[in-house]
């Protein structure tokens, strides 16, 4: 919500007019929101965090700074990023964008929520972010589903990914990337289940929203292990609010798209500084999948966060944000230089 001026919005919260925010919500972000327009006409939102800067001069001050672009997980509310944003926004240009049907972005006008479509949206957002900044591509940070989207962007446009931080997300659904019959059968079953259940989404939506809005949602997530004891209640309530108020069609078709294909084959080609962050107690993205990705990227820096699950960005927010900052400030520049030197070496004679 904010004041629209010449096609942009200066905002303090992520709430949409169609769903008035509960009294406990109130994001501390100060930001400028813009949109890119996809080929099918869908308006995809991205916004620049202002930190403590005064709005009239903020973008001029931010323009020469190193840029960090944040890519969500499916259904993720932007408060998941609050520790990283708070840590970086005072000396970096921090930008965040929303998938179709999430946050400030429109539902897909073509009805397309495939991974490839999200990759195209990230490509356009990245180019616009560069054009309004110093022209250099941003360091890309991705969470959960965003890891798959970012790796697919690297496949398509490696020039837009000078470095990446991959948090609690594998290159594909668990079991993908293997050639065994068991894994193929499991994924085929999952895809068929998605297909069969799709007609029931409109019927199930009111029930799911009722559960997400009930006082049982948080303790239930704790009981099944999806949340650790240190998961902050207000932040999780805000996530549940965002989840139950978003488009069920956008959520379902985006989730269904994740079961198709994978980006495991991209990993051998990665030649940029990479930081992988995994949560030991993640029940949605098993630790073994993150370790498998680490083993495929031997040059990557690795952090395993204990006593944290899939909501680790909130449960271990300070630990993760400090580690990301250290990577960006201390290791990323040197790693980038090393990689550029490796890439410029002449090939050995045959």
Q: With respect to residue 294, please indicate whether it lies within any of the assigned structural domains.
A: yes
pLDDT at residue number 134 = 94
Side-chain-side CA neighbours of residue 291 (13 Å) = 7
pLDDT at residue number 336 = 46
pLDDT at residue number 206 = 84
This prediction has a pTM of 0.85
pLDDT at residue number 15 = 36
- Strand 8-11 and strand 67-71: the pairing is unpaired
Q: With respect to residue 345, please indicate whether it lies within any of the assigned structural domains.
A: no
> Which CATH number covers residue 239?
3.40.50.1820
pLDDT at residue number 182 = 67
pLDDT at residue number 13 = 39
The domain tally of the chain equals 1
pLDDT at residue number 332 = 65
Instruction: State the DSSP string of 247-287.
Output: -HHHHHHHHHHHTS---GGGGGG--S-EEEEEETT-SSS-H
Task: Give per-residue pLDDT as tens, 278-297.
Answer: 999 999 899 999 999 999 99
Q: With respect to residue 235, please indicate whether it lies within any of the assigned structural domains.
A: yes
Alpha helix locations (H) across the chain? Answer: 55-62, 82-88, 115-131, 145-156, 181-197, 201-212, 217-223, 233-245, 248-258, 287-296, 312-315, 317-326, 332-344
Contacts of 342 (CB under 8 A, 6+ apart): 271
Q: With respect to residue 43, please indicate whether it lies within any of the assigned structural domains.
A: yes
pLDDT at residue number 333 = 61
pLDDT at residue number 184 = 66
For residue 77, count CB atoms less than 10 angstroms from its CB and return exposed for 0-12, middle for 13-18, buried for 19 or more: buried
Instruction: Tell me the C-alpha distance between 216 and 60, whole Å.
Output: 46
Residue 120 belongs to domain spanning: 2-340
Q: With respect to residue 346, please indicate whether it lies within any of the assigned structural domains.
A: no
Instruction: State the DSSP string of 230-243.
Output: TS-HHHHHHHHHHH
Tell me which residues of the chain have a pLDDT lower than 70.
1-29, 180, 182-184, 187, 332-350
Task: Give per-residue pLDDT as tens, 68-117.
Answer: 999 999 988 888 999 999 999 989 999 999 999 999 999 999 999 999 99
């Amino acid at each position: 919500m904010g004041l629209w001026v010449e096609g942009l919005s200066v905002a303090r919260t992520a709430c949409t007019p169609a769903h008035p925010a509960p009294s406990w919500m109130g994001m501390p972000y100060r930001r400028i929101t813009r949109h890119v327009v996809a080929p099918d006409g869908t308006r995809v939102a991205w916004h620049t965090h202002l930190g403590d800067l005064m709005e009239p001069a903020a973008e001029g001050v931010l323009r020469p700074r190193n840029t960090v672009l944040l890519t969500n997980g499916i259904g993720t509310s932007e408060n998941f990023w609050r520790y990283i944003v708070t840590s970086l926004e005072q000396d970096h240009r921090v930008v965040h964008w929303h998938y179709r049907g999430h946050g400030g972005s429109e539902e897909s006008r073509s009805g397309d929520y495939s991974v490839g479509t999200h990759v195209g949206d990230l490509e356009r957002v990245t180019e616009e972010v560069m054009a309004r900044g110093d022209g250099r591509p941003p360091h890309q940070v991705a969470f959960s589903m965003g890891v798959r989207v970012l790796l697919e962007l690297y496949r398509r446009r490696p020039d837009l990914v000078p470095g990446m931080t991959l948090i609690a997300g594998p290159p594909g659904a668990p079991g993908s990337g293997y050639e065994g019959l068991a894994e193929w059968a499991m994924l085929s079953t999952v895809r068929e289940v998605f297909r069969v259940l799709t007609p029931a989404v409109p019927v199930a939506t009111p029930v799911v929203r009722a559960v997400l809005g009930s006082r049982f949602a948080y303790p239930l997530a704790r009981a099944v292990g999806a949340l650790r004891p240190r998961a902050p209640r207000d932040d999780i309530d805000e996530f549940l609010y965002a989840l139950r108020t978003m488009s069920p069609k956008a959520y379902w078709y985006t989730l269904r798209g994740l079961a198709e294909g994978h980006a495991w084959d991209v990993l051998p080609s990665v030649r940029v500084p990479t930081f992988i962050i995994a949560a030991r107690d993640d029940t949605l993205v098993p630790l073994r999948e993150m370790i498998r990705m680490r083993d495929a990227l031997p040059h990557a820096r690795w952090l395993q966060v204990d006593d944290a699950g899939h909501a680790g960005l909130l449960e271990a927010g300070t630990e993760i944000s400090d580690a990301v900052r250290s990577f960006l400030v201390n290791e990323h520049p040197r790693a980038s230089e090393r990689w550029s030197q490796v890439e410029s070496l002449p090939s050995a004679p045959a």
